């Protein structure tokens, strides 16, 4: 008997089967593994909103054990809630559920991460060394946070006044920083990379400003963004300029955070047009990190799998890969030119249902994604601008309600704070919620549009 098998037998005899992970058995003695081979009809890479929604939607079509979800995380988070967690409106626990409770019970969960794709061979490799073959593949890996690309991070999060709503590790530090702020300069950043929810870096700024204003705390608030505009859709950008002017918030565009010096409470920014650097002091700093696709995509061996920036190459209307027709993509990891939000995932899930379903049946994709996405721009603890738009160039409003959604409204905040979490937990990730398109059509019909 080999040393590997001896180790396995010994663990079983001692009643330590829990150490033998459900999807493979590792040999810890020599650092090698017993590599497993798996074959599924559908493999979904990623257990976020898009991955969970897709797996739940298709598991009954294939049957028990024929769908596999690959994701290393034990917990699933409703990340859009983190703006409200950092702002003190919600708690982190309210945004969390166990991964096993959101994935379909009839699917196989491989608690592992993908290290490489072999799209020509319809298989992939995992970090544990397992080989997974598939008939159909849906890639929904999302984005990785790259705090390490900013000098001084993540170490600066261990110092007072520094937080970030983009990570479960640091979002509560944002709340603490806001609560402990006694005046001075507060800086909010937007990096030079695609990010999840492009409105989130400023939402927490509005919540903080409102809190300090009501407490009588004087603050020099600065929004430093790498973008050339405050927001990418003209209608909502105009409304947001009025908000920042009314609250005396200083907006600095084309500014990219490159270093944090916590010992002196200094932040270093680079002007993306002139490459000049500026050092400013801060009393509070909210960091939005650069983001990129996981290494299995950004460093993919097959250049046809991804675009030049490392995003999955898909047809922006059908979600089907541009070369490998048994691969589809959904959510933040794709190169679909729309804002990366949970609302976009919901709309894409409806397209996935129709087009992946058709492809499995041998038919051409019947549905076309219009680029719908939404960003509820929270401007306070009782106000919100509900931005909804498409992926035209430039993006155009694609609104649901028969009213001016560029106006700050209490009703839209209630929608963001109370209704949307229920739609997420009980609709989107369960495969039922496909966005508000049907309601938009009803409202337009009813109001003669």
Q: CB–CB of 202/226 below 8 Å? A: no
Predicted confidence at residue 445, as pLDDT, reads 62
pLDDT digits (tens, 9 = 90+) for 181-200: 999 999 999 999 999 999 99
Predicted confidence at residue 34, as pLDDT, reads 58
Q: Is 37-143+293-366 a domain of CATH 3.50.50.60? A: yes
Q: Identify the residue whose tokens are 């608030």.
A: 221
d(CA 124, CA 107): 18
Predicted confidence at residue 127, as pLDDT, reads 97
Look at phi and psi of residue 262 and say left if phi exceeds 0, alpha if psi is from -120 to 50, else beta. Answer: alpha
pLDDT bin (cut points 50, 70, 90) of residue 21 is very low
> Which CATH number is 147-291 given?
3.50.50.60
More confident residue, 7 or 313: 313
The set of catalytic residues is: 197, 375
Sign of the CA dihedral running 437, 441, 443, 448: positive
Q: Which of these, 163, 77, 157, 139, lies nearest to 293 by C-alpha position?
A: 139
pLDDT bin (cut points 50, 70, 90) of residue 137 is very high
- Containing 135, the helix (H) or strand (E) segment is strand 131-139
CATH 3.50.50.60 intervals, the chain: 37-143+293-366, 147-291
């Amino acid at each position: 008997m080999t040393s590997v098998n001896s180790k396995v037998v010994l663990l079983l005899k001692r009643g330590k089967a829990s150490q033998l992970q459900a999807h493979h058995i590792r040999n810890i003695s020599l650092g090698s593994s017993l590599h497993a081979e798996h074959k599924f009809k559908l493999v979904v890479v990623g257990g976020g909103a898009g991955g969970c929604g897709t797996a739940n939607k298709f598991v009954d079509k294939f049957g028990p054990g024929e769908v596999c979800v690959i994701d290393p995380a034990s917990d699933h988070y409703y990340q859009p809630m983190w703006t409200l967690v950092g702002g003190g409106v919600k708690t982190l626990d309210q945004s969390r559920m166990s991964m096993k409770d959101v994935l379909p019970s009839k699917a196989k969960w491989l608690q592992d991460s993908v290290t490489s794709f072999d799209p020509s061979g319809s298989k992939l490799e995992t970090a544990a060394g397992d080989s997974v073959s598939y008939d159909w593949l849906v890639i929904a890996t999302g984005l990785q946070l790259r705090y390490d690309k900013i000098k001084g991070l993540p170490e600066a999060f261990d110092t007072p006044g520094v937080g970030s709503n983009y990570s479960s590790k640091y979002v509560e530090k944002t709340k603490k920083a806001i609560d402990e702020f006694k005046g001075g300069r507060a800086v909010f950043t937007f990096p030079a990379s695609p990010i999840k929810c492009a409105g989130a870096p400023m939402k927490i700024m509005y919540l903080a400003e409102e809190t300090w204003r009501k407490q009588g705390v004087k603050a020099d608030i600065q929004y430093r963004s790498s973008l050339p505009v405050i927001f990418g859709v003209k209608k909502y950008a105009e409304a947001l300029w009025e908000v920042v002017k009314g609250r005396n918030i200083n907006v600095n565009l084309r500014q990219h955070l490159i270093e944090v010096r916590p010992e002196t409470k200094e932040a270093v920014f680079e002007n993306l047009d002139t490459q000049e650097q500026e050092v400013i002091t801060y009393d509070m700093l909210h960091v939005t990190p650069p983001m990129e696709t996981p290494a299995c995509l950004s460093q993919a061996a097959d250049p046809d799998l991804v675009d030049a920036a490392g995003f999955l190459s898909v047809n922006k209307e059908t979600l089907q890969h541009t070369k490998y027709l048994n691969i589809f993509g959904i959510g933040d990891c794709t190169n679909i030119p729309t804002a990366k939000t949970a609302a976009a995932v919901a709309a894409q899930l409806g397209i996935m249902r129709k087009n992946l379903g058709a492809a499995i049946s041998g038919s051409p994709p019947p549905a076309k994604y219009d680029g719908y996405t939404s960003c509820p721009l929270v401007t306070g603890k009782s106000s919100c601008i509900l931005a909804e738009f498409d992926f035209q160039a430039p993006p155009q409003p694609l609104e649901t309600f028969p009213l001016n959604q560029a106006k700050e409204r209490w009703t839209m905040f209630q929608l963001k704070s109370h209704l949307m979490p229920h739609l997420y937990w009980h609709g989107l990730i369960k495969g039922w919620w496909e966005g508000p398109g049907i309601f938009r059509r009803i409202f337009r019909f009813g109001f003669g549009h």
